[in-house]
Structure 1
Amino acid sequence: MTHGDTLVAQGLVKSYGGVRALDGAGIRLRGGEVHALVGENGAGKSTLVRILAGALAPDEGAVRLAKDTRIATVSQELSLFPDLTVRENLFPHRPPLRLGLLDRGAMDRAARPVLEELGLDVDLGTELGELPLADQQLTEIARALLRRPRLLILDEPTSALPAAAVERLERVLRTLTGRGIAVLYVTHFLEEVMRTAQRVTVLRDGRVASAGVRRTEVTVPELVTAMLGGRPEQSARRTRTVADVPPPVVLSGVNVPGRLTDVTFTVRAGEVVGVAGLQGAGHLDALEVVCGRAEVSAGRVDVGGRGQPHSLRAAVRAGVAFVPSDRKRYGLMVDRTVWENTTAVSWLALGRGGFMPSRSELVRRTANLTERLRLRGGPYDMVARLSGGNQQKVVFAKWLATEPKIVVLDDPTRGVDVGVRAEMHRIVGELATSGAAVLLASTDLAELTEVCDRVLVFVRGRVVGEVHGARLTEHALAVAMQQGATPSI
């Protein structure tokens, strides 16, 4: 370590089973600097942060700290207690005592300057769960600062914060670095990196693609290139016949308070339209409008020729199939058989097959679907015993059984292997070819470029552009999502 270094990590290797999450990664953090850590999903950021914080031991490599360095970490997932007061959340360990009792006065005197610095004006006796999510996140940051750390790790700290709170946090970071504190700032918002950080490290596939480059010496497109690497870009677009009929999905001037502003787009029968954006950009909210899970305050919505659905059940009756990203929570009954899952919507919700179809008929339909999807498992197998990829195929089978006109997919291949991913893409293509309108969101930019005919880019609740044809590449999407405009390529 050199003078001014707070932490130096070198040669870090960490494997989970046969997968290497980190492969020789490292980072150097200096006092008085905000050092941003960026990379795609799965690049190894979370594993690196856990090792630096001491929550995980590396298989190889070393982490060295300057003397008397205290580390505080603020994670993306809040670790607070909503049923306790703000005061109790700020002092979860070793609170000040007086005569064996909690010294609320001492707690308040210690907390107030930190809360004022964060611009958080709340009653310390308020139950935390009553506060807005943004204030809860700032409370967690305040708790970390009360430990007086020399190294503060912020893992996606602004994911739940409105713009004004983000600005307050950035001002606080300038104050902290002015005191010599080192800040590791993990984020996927590159615009925040360009405003806040002094240095940037890029992780790609568990390795350092760019080490501690000065923020003034790099641009957003260059950071995107470092994150994506030299992958071959998808440029030859597929050709599909788009039906010359009224579009099954129409949104015109749609507003959802705090989430969408003047969103307008259509999805025609026979095409796959992607929606892309950073966390909270509004693209997933648009899916919820189509699926009847979000109410609009203005604008026109027409789904399947039936107007705006006001519930998921109404959307299903309009011909919508919804494949969620969290299959175990929303997509499956894991304690039931394959046939019970695949017929749950078509029979129970839509009444396909009559009031009381025979079990043999439902099993026969399931067998046809599982064969079509190449599912490794029979109709009577318990879903809980299937692999993750085959569980996702069961979700697809459930919705294919409804013969949908509109298919809404939210990260449909998350957590599946390469082979299953390719099969899912084949199925999506078949659905569009058969005349369905497909609306696809994915955190995997490569998936959007491989599957979609065009992609709508969302930034801060608005559609800022559309990328299609030869321009539809991972790089173009990433830059558009960060800069708020579709680049000319």
Structure 2
Amino acid sequence: MTNGDILVAQGLVKSYGGVRALDGVGIRLRGGEVHALVGENGAGKSTLVRIVSGTLAADQGAVRTAGDIRIAVVSQELSLFPDLTVRENLFPRGSLRRFGLLDRRAMDRAARPVLAELGLDVDLGQELGELPLADQQLTEIARALLRSPRLLVLDEPTSALPAAAVDRLAEVLRTLTGRGIAVLYVTHFLEEVMRFAHRVTVLRDGQVALGGVRRSEVGVPELVTAMLGGRPPQPVRRARAVVDLPPPVVLSGVSVPGRLRDVTFTVRAGEVVGVAGLQGAGHLSALEVVCGRTAISAGRVDVAGRGLPRSLRGAVRAGVAFVPSDRKRYGLMAERTVWENTTTVSWLALGRGGMLPSRSELVRRTAELTRHLRLRGGLHDIVARLSGGNQQKVVFAKWLATDPKIVVLDDPTRGVDVGVRTEMHRIITELAATGTAVLIASTDLAELTEVCDRVLVFVRGRLTGEVHGEHLTEHELAVAVQPTVTEST
């Protein structure tokens, strides 16, 4: 280690089963610097953070620190208690006591300067759950700072913050680095890398693609190239024949407080349209609006030429099918059979088959759908015993049984193998060929380029553009979803 180093990791290797998450990764964190860590989902960022913070042991390699240092981690997933007060969350173990009793005055004296640095003016006796999400996230950062760390790890710290709070965080980072604290800043927002970081490391497929380079030496295009590597561009696809019918979905001037601002777009019959954006950009909120899961404060949503009922059941009856990303929690009845899962919505929600449809008829309908989807498993098999890919096919079958006008897909191939992914893409293509509209979000930008005719880009709650034709490549999308400086301030 050299003077100024707070932590140095070298040759880190970590495997999970047969998958190598890290393969010889190293990173050097210096006091007084913000070191950004970026990479695609699955690149190895989370594994590296856990090893650096001491919560996970590497299989190989070494982590050395400048003595016995304190490391504080602010995770992307809040670890606070909404039913406790702000004070109780800042001091979860009641560390400040007097005569064996909690010393609230001492807690307040310690907390106030830190909260002031963050621009957070709240009542310490107020329940945390009553605060806006942005203030809750700033409270978590404040709790970390109260530990007086020499290394602070911020994992997607601005995912729930408005622009003004991001600006306050920039000031805090300058204050912290001025004290000699090292900050490891994990983010998908490459614009934040250019604003905040002194150095940047890019991981790709568990290896270092760009290691500790100075921010002044790279730009957003170079970072994207390092993240994606030299992947061949996707071939330009011929446009699908769009069916001459009323558009299944039209959003006109739709707004949702804190999530969407004046969003307008159309999805036509026979079209596969993607939505893309960083976390909190609004693209997933747009899906929820179409599915009747989120109420709008302004604008209009039409499905097949009629106003969309503002409820999930109403959306289903209007012809909207929704395949969620979390199939186990929201998409399936795990302990029920394949045929029971497949007929749930069409029978119970839409009443198809009458009040008391025959079991044989329900099984027959399921057989037709699962044959088309090439499901591996019997109709009477318990869904929990199927593979992840076949469970996802059951979710598809359940919604296709409703004869939808539009199918909304949220990360449809998450957690499935390459073979099932190919099958899912085949199903999507065949759906579009029958005139069904498809609206899809995916954390894998490559997937959007493979199946979509065009992709709508969202940045901070606004629809900022559309990528299509020869421009619909993974690289173009990765650049398009990044906020510009003016959009973040």
TM-score norm. by structure 2 comes to 0.97
Does residue 367 (structure 1) correspond to residue 402 (structure 2)? The answer is no
Distance in 2 separating the partners of 1:217 and 1:277:
26
Distance in 2 separating the partners of 1:135 and 1:484:
24
Distance in 1 separating the partners of 2:300 and 2:32:
51
1:482 alignment partner, SS class: coil
| Cα deviation code 1:49-68 (max 9, x no counterpart) | 00101000011111110113
1:95-174 equivalences in 2 (<5 Å)? 95-174=95-174
Residue 238 of structure 1 and its aligned partner are, at CA, apart by 3.6
Task: Report the equivalent of 2:284.
Answer: 284
Residue 365 of structure 1 and its aligned partner are, at CA, apart by 1.5
Task: Report the equivalent of 1:5.
Answer: 5
Task: Report the equivalent of 1:334.
Answer: 334
| Cα deviation code 1:384-436 (max 9, x no counterpart) | 11221111111101011111111111111111111000000000000000000
Residue 360 of structure 1 and its aligned partner are, at CA, apart by 1.5
Distance in 1 separating the partners of 2:389 and 2:90:
42
Distance in 2 separating the partners of 1:334 and 1:381:
11
| Cα deviation code 1:119-151 (max 9, x no counterpart) | 111111111122111111111111111110000
Distance in 2 separating the partners of 1:78 and 1:458:
24
Is the deviation greater in 174-183 or in 367-376?
A: 367-376
Does residue 76 (structure 1) correspond to residue 76 (structure 2)? The answer is yes
Task: Report the equivalent of 1:476.
Answer: 476
Is the deviation greater in 131-140 or in 295-304?
A: 295-304
Distance in 1 separating the partners of 2:338 and 2:137:
41
Residue 94 of structure 1 and its aligned partner are, at CA, apart by 5.4
TM-score norm. by structure 1 comes to 0.97
Distance in 2 separating the partners of 1:484 and 1:288:
26
Task: Report the equivalent of 2:298.
Answer: 298
Distance in 1 separating the partners of 2:91 and 2:435:
58
Residue 372 of structure 1 and its aligned partner are, at CA, apart by 1.5
Distance in 1 separating the partners of 2:463 and 2:396:
28
Q: Which amino acid aligns with 1:341?
A: N
Is the deviation greater in 89-98 or in 418-427?
A: 89-98
| Cα deviation code 1:351-402 (max 9, x no counterpart) | 1122211112111221222222122211111111122111111110101111
Q: Which amino acid aligns with 2:259?
A: R
Task: Report the equivalent of 2:417.
Answer: 417
Q: Which amino acid aligns with 1:337?
A: T
1:88 alignment partner, SS class: helix
| Cα deviation code 1:24-75 (max 9, x no counterpart) | 1111100000000000011110011001010000111111101132101110
Distance in 1 separating the partners of 2:200 and 2:409:
34
When residues 92 and 298 of structure 1 are mapped into structure 2, their CA distance, relative to the original with a 3 A threshold, is closer
Contact 2:27 2:212 in 1 (8 A): yes
1:343 alignment partner, SS class: helix
Is the deviation greater in 235-244 or in 428-437?
A: 235-244
Task: Report the equivalent of 2:318.
Answer: 318
Distance in 1 separating the partners of 2:32 and 2:321:
51
Task: Report the equivalent of 2:253.
Answer: 253
Is the deviation greater in 108-117 or in 426-435?
A: 108-117
| Cα deviation code 1:278-308 (max 9, x no counterpart) | 1111111111111112222222321122212
Does residue 395 (structure 1) correspond to residue 392 (structure 2)? The answer is no
Is the deviation greater in 425-434 or in 231-240?
A: 231-240
Q: Which amino acid aligns with 1:31?
A: G
Distance in 1 separating the partners of 2:325 and 2:357:
31
Task: Report the equivalent of 1:184.
Answer: 184
Contact 1:13 1:61 in 2 (8 A): yes
| Cα deviation code 1:85-114 (max 9, x no counterpart) | 111111123512111111111111111111
Contact 2:85 2:128 in 1 (8 A): yes
Does residue 348 (structure 1) correspond to residue 348 (structure 2)? The answer is yes
Q: Which amino acid aligns with 1:266?
A: T
Distance in 2 separating the partners of 1:394 and 1:450:
23
Residue 484 of structure 1 and its aligned partner are, at CA, apart by 5.5
Is the deviation greater in 432-441 or in 454-463?
A: 454-463
Percentage of identical aligned residues = 84
Q: Which amino acid aligns with 2:105?
A: G
Distance in 2 separating the partners of 1:235 and 1:253:
34
Residue 194 of structure 1 and its aligned partner are, at CA, apart by 0.6
Distance in 2 separating the partners of 1:314 and 1:92:
44
Distance in 2 separating the partners of 1:263 and 1:183:
36
Residue 235 of structure 1 and its aligned partner are, at CA, apart by 2.9
Contact 2:291 2:320 in 1 (8 A): yes
Distance in 2 separating the partners of 1:210 and 1:56:
23
Does residue 456 (structure 1) correspond to residue 475 (structure 2)? The answer is no
Distance in 1 separating the partners of 2:130 and 2:255:
26
Does residue 264 (structure 1) correspond to residue 264 (structure 2)? The answer is yes
Distance in 2 separating the partners of 1:335 and 1:203:
40
Say what the alpha-carbon RMSD is for the aligned residues.
Answer: 1.3
Provide structure 1 residue ranges, at least 5 long, that are not aligned to the other structure.
none
Contact 2:94 2:102 in 1 (8 A): no
Residue-pair matches, total:
485
1:29 alignment partner, SS class: strand
Task: Report the equivalent of 2:43.
Answer: 43
2:481 alignment partner, SS class: helix
| Cα deviation code 1:240-284 (max 9, x no counterpart) | 211122211111222222221221111111110111111111111
Contact 1:341 1:394 in 2 (8 A): yes
Q: Which amino acid aligns with 1:168?
A: R
Q: Which amino acid aligns with 1:286?
A: A
